Structure 1
Amino acid sequence: MWGDTMKISNADRARVLVQALPYIQKYTGKTIVVKYGGNAMVNEGLKKAVMSDIVLMQLVGINVVLVHGGGPEISSMLKKVGKESRFVRGMRVTDGETMEIVQMVLAGKVNKDLVQLLERHNGRAIGLCGLDGGMLMAEKLSGAEDLGYVGEITEVHTDIITDATANGYVPVIATVAGGSGGEVYNINADIAASRIAAELGAEKLILMTDVRGLLRDKDDEETIIPVVNVSEVPKLQNQGIISGGMIPKVDCCVEAVRRGVGRAHMIDGRIPHSILIELFSDEGIGTMFC
């Protein structure tokens, strides 16, 4: 229905708009945090679709906050300088030199490219990172293996975010954080989006992923679970339905809901306009945590 190339009649267009109206009324004036990453961030067609979705949300009065990653770009830059990327449990091992590159790529190139892209779609955007206004404070992530400058968020200060949305801008946030001793830490973007959404009292957190959502059978996309109550998560983990790389994403959704976010959604960023389908249609998309 939302596809760019699909031809629909005027009557179908009217039905789409009528169906969207109550959702537009529901979310106007509310805050929605979108974590942007995966294939939607590297495929040019999908990238344009996401930007147009965000601009439309902004135009109907939604306070959109865009939190982004940038793993492929960081790996590419490290390769250019002859430095190998190393990961432990899905987290990038970040020594001092790597942290400088992470900060440069995330808060510099990736962040400003997204701001420019939103502006080209006639949106109003401002690029920020966790260092601005002391937005994200962190300490070194503790664990069995030393990951270097990988941080765990200790505080979130949202004044600079709410100032931006109040003035009609989409805050585009790169997830680096400051330490109490002047250190700079690399922060997982899913976790940062979850904590920011909670601190803002957001209506929704939307995590864009490269899968349809939470699947009962990881090899069958038709087994998607559309709604999960956070109380069901331990049982789903024990059954092995939530496993591997899905565990930290689900944990972020659960944490957001437990901290007061209205709903958390894991949606398939490979589908064009997946954000609009989730927000403004009866069908929805992906898996909703409530």
Structure 2
Amino acid sequence: MKTLSVIKFGGSLTKNPAAQNKFLKELAVVAKKENIILVHGGGPEINALLEKFEIKSKFVNGLRYTDAAALEVVELALSGKVNRALTTGLIKNKVNAVGISGKDGASVICKQKKELGCVGEPVKVNKKLIEVLTKAGFLPVIASIAADKAGNILNVNADSLATAIAVAFKAHRLIFLTDVAGVLDKNKKTIKQIKVKNINALINDKTITGGMIPKIKGCASAVKSGVKEVLIIDGVKGILKIQGTIIKK
């Protein structure tokens, strides 16, 4: 039986066409050997479209506030642009890719984070639609849009969405493609492997700082919830010769 990997394609990589094309070519190779679920965000595309429609971006503690007008643009950017580009790129590389979002088939149910407007945190994953696709030999490409239990559309952090899906499917691997070479030590060298029990010490001694803290905490919770290993890797280097950090039990 094929193993399953959930891969989160980072927003910053969507600005790098060469890296994106390399990733899609390599993903086509990996997809022959294992089942893949691809989850994506698209911050740069969202920012560009908000600017185009003259909607001012608002942030609360570094997180995007999404009002109703911004939500329309977010969905357009993610489902209409990034999702189409990734799905088309995979199809060109002979992969049976299908573009959906977390709201399709009520696949991901979220709780609204009211302080951030129309933003949700995943609370339940209904596996049926995604399972049907993977079992039939399709590669789901999932935009980070979902809904609450009443069907209200919400913007979702792509890391959180990928983690929730990986946990629900007890994925063998959860891979975060980023624009850094994994978790770096104080000498800016990649830490090859981190055990979950050592994460707090690395945060306390300021080895892990800033935006990497929520990411690494998410990785730890995924491993504790049954995902075999989580990788934070340099997306520009691709996924065949992985360069980055592995988080394990």
The answer to whether structure 1 residue 33 and structure 2 residue 6 are counterparts is yes
- Separation (CA, whole Å) in 1 of partners of 2:61 and 2:27: 32
The answer to whether structure 1 residue 261 and structure 2 residue 227 are counterparts is yes
The answer to whether structure 1 residue 212 and structure 2 residue 181 are counterparts is yes
Report if the CA contact (8 A) 2:87-2:99 is conserved: yes
Q: CA deviation at 1:65?
A: 0.7
Q: CA deviation at 1:153?
A: 1.1
The answer to whether structure 1 residue 68 and structure 2 residue 40 are counterparts is yes
Spell out the pairing of 1:10-49 with structure 2 (5 A cutoff). 29-49=2-22
Q: CA deviation at 1:111?
A: 0.9
Partner of 1:244: 210
RMSD of aligned Cα (Å)? 1.3
- Separation (CA, whole Å) in 1 of partners of 2:137 and 2:176: 23
Report if the CA contact (8 A) 1:118-1:125 is conserved: yes
The answer to whether structure 1 residue 118 and structure 2 residue 90 are counterparts is yes
The answer to whether structure 1 residue 286 and structure 2 residue 219 are counterparts is no
Report if the CA contact (8 A) 1:67-1:172 is conserved: yes
Identity rate, percent: 37
- Separation (CA, whole Å) in 2 of partners of 1:35 and 1:90: 20
Normalization by structure 2: what TM-score? 0.95
Aligned partner letter, 1:251: K
Q: Which structure's residues are more often strand, by fraction?
A: 2
Higher radius of gyration, 1 or 2: 1
Aligned partner letter, 1:79: E
The answer to whether structure 1 residue 101 and structure 2 residue 73 are counterparts is yes
Aligned partner letter, 2:77: V
1:153-195 deviation digits (Å, cap 9, x = unpaired): 1111111111111111110001111112231111100111011
Normalization by structure 1: what TM-score? 0.82
Runs of 4+ aligned structure 1 residues displaced above 3 Å come to: none
* Structure 2: gaps spanning 5 or more residues: none
* SS of aligned partner of 1:276: coil
Spell out the pairing of 1:51-200 with structure 2 (5 A cutoff). 51-60=24-33, 62-141=34-113, 146-200=115-169
* Structure 1: gaps spanning 5 or more residues: 1-27, 279-284
Report if the CA contact (8 A) 1:126-1:172 is conserved: yes
Q: CA deviation at 1:114?
A: 1.1
* SS of aligned partner of 2:206: coil
1:188-246 deviation digits (Å, cap 9, x = unpaired): 001110110010110000001111111112xx43x221111111111111111111111
How many pairs align?
248
